[in-house]
Structure 1
Amino acid sequence: MPEGHTLHRLAGALDRAFAGTEPSVSSPQGRFADGAAVLDGTTVERSWAHGKLLFVDFAQGRTLYVHLGLIGKWFVLPVVPVGSEPPATGAVRLRVLSDEHVADLRGPMACQVVDEAEVDRLVRRQGPDPLQPVSELNDPEQAYASIRRSGKSVAELLMDQTVLAGVGNIYRCEVLWRHRLHPLRPGRSLKAASWQLVWDDLVRLMPYGVRTGTIITLDDVLEDTEAALQRGELPEVPREFAVYQRTGLPCLRCGATVRHKVVAGRNLFWCGNCQRRT
């Protein structure tokens, strides 16, 4: 399932392509025909994300809500030549088409037209999103309160979207390693200072994922990426991590063996030596 930075990046692409336009909206597959008819020809106001939820606001108080789930894909591409209509390939649940761009959605877990009240309900049942500004409705203290009440492992809680929105397996493994936190410690044992370090680090790291399309968690890669971005370049970021998918290999910090365990159905990776803070 895509992590939150992917949804924010996609929302940005949709916004640049369609905000302020009145695109045609259709369902080549037919499964979203009624919803598409409601949105067809209506002005797109903005696209945005909260965690792993994606929203496209249309005029007249209508919002398209999409959850990609495990297999959903949404591609935003230029129309060539301008004004033409590319053929729909595969099972396209939803197509948004303007003279200059086309966005085809395939295989989402959810694709619905909802009103403002439902948008509010969907967002409120999520935890805070590190990619959103802190506010009354996006408060990291809300996440910490949930963590402190729980006997579940910190690793499991960081993946619970009702606790913390947008964080997936890679970010949770890497950020716990960065702060030497044992992933299997119970949430109720996590100190406020440790939680603040985790939250602040996610706030720092995840925007790089939005800007580059790649998860970056190693400091040297972060430095090289930031230098390239300041030069106006979009760097090709290596897919390198400290512990994620490195079972049996040496920890990049201390050289001890990286361990692996399945927790709540997801693969967890951590260093057996320098992540001993329980």
Structure 2
Amino acid sequence: MPEGHTLHRLARLHQRRYAGRPVSVSSPQGRFAAALVDGRRLVRAEAHGKHLFHVYGPDAIVHVHLGLYGTFTEAPLPVLLPVGQVRMRMVGETHWTDLRGPTACDVLNSAEAKAIRDRLGPDPLRRDAKPDLAYERIVRSRQSIAVLLMDQSVLAGVGNVYRAEVLFRHNVNPLLPGNQVSRELWDAMWDDLVVLMKDGVKVGRIDTVRREHMPKFMGRAPRTDRHGGEVYVYRRAGQPCFLCGTEVLTRELAARNLFWCPVCQA
């Protein structure tokens, strides 16, 4: 599932290509009420966590959640015939965009959109984020910090990759209960997530390895993985930790695969 940086990257792209002008919106698949926004001016595109909002006005906000299989494809004009099950097509002055396979794609009013956002925790990529709210929820919980970081009502936008990597970078045992997380540790993790996720928006992939641990400095081969990016533990089960050489472990936790180093994160 795409993590928050992907949605913010899409929001910036759609803001640049479509905002401030009328947009032709259709649904070749016929499963989206495109007529409610077709031909209207897109006011802005924004993201909150893993949710994307195209705001056409207070009575018409297109809400998209990509889920596991949703994808946007972007191309310059001219427009081509739809290929596959296109849920939503946007056509602007210079580009067109197709959306396929999302978990959600619907038209909401401002109250309905606010209700979705009110259910989400603070997003490290938003200027209006309040990390104190996330910490208040974490420190009241006996659940592990690994579970809490993936709870979108606690913290919005963090997925399995950022979860595994920020815990490693701060030497945190993934099973540490939330009520044992110090304020100092939380502040450090939040600040780190802000930096890492902003970099993800900029480059379009997740890189979490510090400069001195990159391949060219360690004399190792670059990572080859469909997720891209250099990481410490994510999807590296059975491989040696870059820092201590111990085998990276994995287990299922709350229906997701967890990765960690048993020495660096003891």
Same fold (TM over 0.5): yes
Maintained 8 Å contact 1:72/1:108: yes
CA distance in 2, matches of 1:21, 1:11: 15
**Is 2:250 the partner of 1:260?**
yes
Partner SS for 1:44:
coil
CA distance in 2, matches of 1:238, 1:146: 32
Maintained 8 Å contact 1:216/1:222: no
- Residue identity opposite 2:85 in structure 1: A
CA distance in 2, matches of 1:145, 1:116: 27
1:228 counterpart residue number: none
> Identity, % of aligned pairs?
49
Maintained 8 Å contact 2:52/2:63: yes
Which of 181, 196, 209 aligns to 1:218? It is: 209
1:9 counterpart residue number: 9
Structure 1 residue 79, shift from structure 2 partner? 1.2
CA distance in 1, matches of 2:212, 2:23: 39
Alpha-carbon distance change, 93 to 238 in structure 1, aligned in 2, over 3 angstroms: closer
- How do residues 59-78 of structure 1 correspond to structure 2 at under 5 angstroms? 59=57, 61-78=59-76
2:86 counterpart residue number: 92
2:159 counterpart residue number: 168
- The worse-fitting range, judged by mean Cα deviation, of 45-54 and 91-100 is 91-100
CA distance in 1, matches of 2:101, 2:237: 32
- Residue identity opposite 2:70 in structure 1: G
Maintained 8 Å contact 1:76/1:101: yes
- Residue identity opposite 1:255 in structure 2: G
Maintained 8 Å contact 1:55/1:66: yes
Structure 1 residue 62, shift from structure 2 partner? 1.6
2:177 counterpart residue number: 186
2:141 counterpart residue number: 150
**Is 2:195 the partner of 1:204?**
yes
**Is 2:61 the partner of 1:57?**
no
Q: Could you state the TM-score of these two structures normalised by the residue count of structure 1?
A: 0.88
Gaps of 5+ in 1: 225-236
CA distance in 1, matches of 2:126, 2:212: 24
Partner SS for 1:217:
coil
1:234 counterpart residue number: none
**Is 2:130 the partner of 1:132?**
no
Alignment coverage as a number of residue pairs: 255
1:232 counterpart residue number: none
Structure 1 residue 153, shift from structure 2 partner? 0.9
- Residue identity opposite 1:71 in structure 2: Y
Maintained 8 Å contact 2:164/2:260: yes
2:241 counterpart residue number: 251
Gaps of 5+ in 2: 216-226
Structure 1 residue 74, shift from structure 2 partner? 1.3
CA distance in 1, matches of 2:26, 2:117: 26
Q: Deviations over 1:207-241 (max 9, x none)?
A: 111011010101118999xxxxxxxxxxxx96221
Q: Could you state the TM-score of these two structures normalised by the residue count of structure 2?
A: 0.92
Q: How large is the RMSD of aligned CA atoms in angstroms?
A: 1.8
